[in-house]
């Protein structure tokens, strides 16, 4: 949201109070408090007829400094609020005549105390300024809606701050964004919307950004936070929100990985997902016709073609049309759901069903929910309803504990029938105007926060019913903290290379936003892809953390595209299964440290400026570089960071610090192993959940004489099984381990 006309002037419809100087500083327990005048104060008369801003600095965790800015303290401040996880932490506070400061670990905030000048600097461990709030940075703006005479009564208030950007500083994150990977120059509003993948809208908005200078900023407000990223003021990131208060955290990790780790420590780490979920998922698709015979034909077809299938998903029409959601299998199509699900379980499959938090008027649950007051209401006491999506649908009031219990009770029956996990679709189209929540929550803040409560509710239910470590969602909407309830997929993309690229950009942006696991609809949701797009996207999708074949109006089984598609899906599904000893250790790291499995290149190589803008390749964990192919001729140009690398498929040794162009057939793509790596390759290529240590092959890439590499192999439940230390000794590899399973070590150079 823009408030200015150029650098000096504000827009005429706003009356803006800028922090101009610190007139008072004091300590309250572990907080440093400043009183900021909004005009220069040189004499007693200057304190009259002018507002102030109270600024409180504290530290919820080491290396994180929280900033709370208040204009009118008496303004209503209804929730919901993001949940954060503070730790015991006592910052150092110093107040001097010319400045005041608070230090938490390696991060310091220092405020200048000088007449007519506002300057707040955030300094890293080397004492250098990371960013600052300075001239016309921190402010409260009041929009004139009915003229100056009635400003305080009728105006709409906004709180603002802006932090400086250095030369060459690039900004990332802010949730799932399908546009340019680097956010400089963009205006970004935190407003969850069902807008597809080819627009400025996003299903998953998270008011957290990080930069290539080793810090991030999290605005702790679930409302419509607006970011101007080097746009309104090209040398700053400005963030604003409606109201009389603002809270934000400056998070200093010193590197991108450490910063995202600190952010997820504050807002919640991703749960560890079951190993079976990393295999291939196949869906009925959305509006296709299907029944048990159709579904079984797909499952049989995959088995006959030797394509390992881990999860089968039933999309919307497992329920009867117009009844979404009643959580009852359509009896005309699935007359024996329990028997069918058992038959699929007996084949080793896990099973997933589609749900959403909406109840159509034709559903038997509508009258039941209406009678007990389980839906969002309007201010006149009516049930809020719409015909958008489902006829006459209402929306579950997730702030009502009784409504949550009722809804979960209906789903519990489906789980008891044999469903293992749930696709929690929608959660973005949440009304704001003239609605009332059971707990009195602010509708504006609930618009984005609804998805947090929705996915938390279902994830907790799955943990209760399936056990710790077995819960997984396939969720479309999210906000800050939603990374605790994985996995999330990228929404309704299209069947083209362009959409494949925008999907990857969204995944990279999600990684910067703390989401450790991520998926997407292979070959696009809308339309039906040409065979070449399907095959290229299958390779990319099966080198993502989670892999799903799903579409809208057509089935996505590979033999409907061409026979080579079968070969491609088989090859990369089996490859992913054999890489599970490595991939699952990366999943454990995402769970324990908050560092995502898919990593943008700049996150793994922050000192390499060539990586700052790379958005068509990524690291899977810290050892594998993946460059998907976005070209019908198979040409791919990608950057190889400094060091030695090895092509996984050809064995070619590559000296980094260069750009490469390859032409790949459909059974290959650039998949590089970092030199100095021992990559564990599993002995099983038919499923993702097996004993990873039994028969594992330890492939050593570019180990130097005397160099040792230690890796861990987890159990299928994520617990550590054993460490392996592989050392190069001449032409041989020495392995030290406490493992009692057979293994072999192989030099790959």
Round the average pLDDT of the chain to a whole number and report it. Answer: 96
The more confidently predicted of residues 647 and 46 is 647
Render pLDDT for 178-222 as a digit per residue (tens, 0 to 9).
Answer: 999 999 999 999 999 999 999 999 999 999 999 999 999 999 999
CA dihedral 691, 695, 696, 698 (to 10 degrees): 160
User: In 223-262, at which residue ranges do the beta strands (DSSP E only) sit?
Assistant: 226-229, 236-242, 245-252
Report the interhelical angle of 256-267 vs 497-512 (nearest 10°).
70
**pLDDT over threshold 80, residue 150:** no
Domain boundaries, the chain: 10-267, 275-492, 598-747
**Cis, bond preceding 80 (omega within 30 deg of 0):** yes
Same topology between domain 10-267 and domain 598-747: yes
**pLDDT over threshold 90, residue 600:** yes
Q: DSSP string of 454-504?
A: HHHHHHHHHHHHH-TT---B-BS-B-TTGGGS--EE--S-BSSHHHHHHHH
Across the beta sheet with 743-747, the strand order is 677-681, 696-701, 743-747
Tokens of 561: 């595209």
Candidates 3.30.70.120, 3.30.565.10, 3.40.50.1110, 3.20.20.80; CATH matching 275-492: 3.20.20.80
Render pLDDT for 52-109 as a digit per residue (tens, 0 to 9).
Answer: 999 999 999 999 999 999 999 999 999 999 999 999 999 999 999 999 999 999 999 9
Per-residue confidence at 42, pLDDT binned at 50, 70, 90?
A: confident
**pLDDT over threshold 80, residue 155:** no
Task: Judge contact between 591 and 516, C-beta under 8 A.
Answer: yes
Task: Judge contact between 529 and 551, C-beta under 8 A.
Answer: no
> How long, in residues, is the chain?
749
Render pLDDT for 548-565 as a digit per residue (tens, 0 to 9).
Answer: 999 999 999 999 999 999
CA-wise closest residue to 10 among 244, 232, 237 = 232
The catalytic site residues sit at 425, 428, 492
For 10-267, give the CATH class: mainly beta
Render pLDDT for 215-261 as a digit per residue (tens, 0 to 9).
Answer: 999 999 999 999 999 999 999 999 999 999 999 999 999 999 999 99
- DSSP lists the bridge partners of residue 636 as 662
Task: Judge contact between 193 and 110, C-beta under 8 A.
Answer: no
Q: To which H or E segment does residue 446 belong?
A: helix 443-466
**pLDDT over threshold 50, residue 149:** no
**pLDDT over threshold 70, residue 148:** no
Q: Chain centroid to CA 71: how far? A: 32
% of the chain at pLDDT higher than 70: 99
* Pairing mode, strands 171-173 and 208-211: antiparallel
Q: What whole-number distance in Å separates Cα of residue 77 and Cα of residue 73? A: 9
Render pLDDT for 335-357 as a digit per residue (tens, 0 to 9).
Answer: 999 999 999 999 999 999 999 99
Q: To which H or E segment does residue 449 belong?
A: helix 443-466
Q: What whole-number distance in Å separates Cα of residue 244 and Cα of residue 152? A: 12
| The predicted structure's pLDDT at residue 145 | 67
Q: What angle do CA 583, 588, 594 make, to 5 degrees?
A: 110
Task: Judge contact between 543 and 519, C-beta under 8 A.
Answer: no
Superfamily of domain 598-747: Golgi alpha-mannosidase II (2.60.40.1180)
Give the three-class secondary structure for 111: strand
Task: Judge contact between 428 and 356, C-beta under 8 A.
Answer: no
């Amino acid at each position: 949201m823009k408030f200015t006309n150029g650098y000096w002037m504000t827009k005429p419809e706003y009356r803006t109070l800028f922090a101009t100087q610190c007139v008072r500083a004091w300590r309250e327990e572990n907080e440093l408090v400043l009183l900021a005048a909004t005009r220069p104060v040189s004499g007693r008369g200057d304190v009259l007829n002018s507002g102030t801003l109270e600024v409180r600095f504290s530290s919820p965790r080491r290396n994180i400094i929280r900033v709370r800015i208040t204009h009118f303290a008496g303004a209503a401040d209804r929730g919901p609020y993001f949940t954060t996880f503070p730790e015991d932490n006592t910052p150092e506070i110093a107040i001097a005549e010319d400045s005041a400061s608070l230090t938490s670990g390696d991060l310091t905030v220092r405020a200048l105390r000088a007449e007519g000048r506002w300057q707040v600097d955030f300094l890293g461990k080397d004492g250098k300024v990371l960013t600052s709030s300075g001239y016309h940075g921190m402010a409260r703006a009041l929009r004139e809606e009915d003229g100056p005479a009635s400003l305080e009564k009728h105006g709409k208030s906004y709180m603002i701050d802006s932090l400086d950007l250095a030369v060459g500083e690039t900004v990332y994150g802010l949730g799932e964004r399908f546009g340019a990977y680097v956010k400089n120059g963009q205006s970004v509003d935190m407003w969850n919307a069902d807008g597809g993948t080819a627009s400025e809208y996003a299903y998953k908005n998270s008011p957290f950004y990080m930069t290539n200078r080793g810090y991030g900023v999290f605005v702790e407000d679930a409302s419509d936070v607006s970011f101007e990223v080097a746009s309104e003021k090209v040398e700053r990131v400005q963030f604003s929100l409606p109201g009389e208060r603002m809270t934000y955290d400056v998070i200093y990790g010193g590197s991108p990985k450490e910063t995202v780790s600190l952010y997820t420590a504050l807002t919640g780490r991703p749960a560890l997902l079951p190993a079976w979920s990393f295999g291939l998922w196949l869906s009925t698709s959305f509006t296709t016709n299907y029944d048990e015979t159709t579904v079984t034909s797909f499952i049989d077809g995959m088995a006959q073609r030797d394509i390992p299938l881990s999860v089968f998903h039933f999309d919307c029409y497992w329920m009867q049309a117009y009844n979404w959601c009643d959580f009852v299998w359509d009896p005309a199509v699935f007359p024996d759901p329990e028997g069918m699900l058992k038959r699929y379980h007996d084949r080793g499959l896990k099973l997933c069903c589609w749900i959403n938090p909406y109840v159509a008027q034709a559903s038997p649950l509508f009258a039941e929910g209406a009678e007990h007051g389980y839906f969002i209401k309007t201010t006149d006491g009516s049930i809020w309803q719409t015909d958008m999506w489902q006829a006459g649908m209402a929306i579950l009031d997730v702030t009502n504990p009784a409504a949550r219990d009722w809804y979960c009770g209906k789903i519990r029956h489906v789980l008891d029938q044999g469903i293992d996990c749930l696709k929690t679709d929608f959660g973005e189209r949440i009304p704001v105007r003239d609605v009332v929540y059971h707990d009195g929550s602010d509708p504006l803040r609930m618009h984005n926060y609804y998805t947090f409560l929705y996915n938390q509710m279902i994830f907790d239910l799955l943990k209760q019913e399936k056990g710790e470590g077995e819960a997984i969602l396939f969720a479309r909407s999210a906000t800050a903290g939603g990374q605790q309830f994985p996995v999330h997929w990228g929404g309704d993309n299209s069947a083209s290379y362009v959409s494949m690229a925008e999907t990857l950009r969204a995944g990279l942006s999600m990684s910067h936003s703390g989401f450790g696991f991520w998926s997407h609809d292979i070959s696009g949701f809308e339309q039906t892809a040409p065979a070449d797009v399907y095959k290229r996207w299958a390779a990319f999708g099966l080198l993502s953390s989670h892999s799903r074949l799903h579409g809208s109006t057509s089935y996505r089984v590979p033999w409907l595209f061409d026979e080579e598609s079968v070969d491609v899906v088989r090859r990369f599904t089996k490859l992913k299964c054999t890489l599970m000893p490595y991939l699952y250790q990366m999943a454990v790291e995402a769970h324990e440290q908050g560092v995502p499995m898919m990593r943008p290149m700049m996150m793994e190589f922050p000192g390499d400026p060539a990586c700052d803008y790379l958005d068509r390749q990524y690291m899977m964990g810290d050892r594998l570089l993946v460059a998907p192919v976005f070209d019908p001729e198979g040409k791919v140009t990608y950057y190889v960071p400094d060091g030695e690398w090895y092509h996984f498929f050809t064995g070619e040794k590559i000296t980094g610090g260069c750009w490469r162009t390859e032409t790949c057939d459909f059974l290959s793509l650039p998949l590089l192993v970092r030199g100095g790596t021992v990559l564990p390759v599993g002995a099983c290529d038919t499923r993702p959940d097996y004993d990873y240590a039994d028969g594992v092959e330890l492939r050593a890439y570019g180990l130097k004489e005397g160099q040792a590499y230690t890796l861990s192999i987890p159990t299928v439940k994520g617990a550590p099984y054993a460490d392996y230390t592989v050392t190069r000794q001449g032409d041989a590899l020495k392995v030290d381990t406490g493992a009692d399973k057979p293994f072999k070590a192989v030099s790959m150079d």
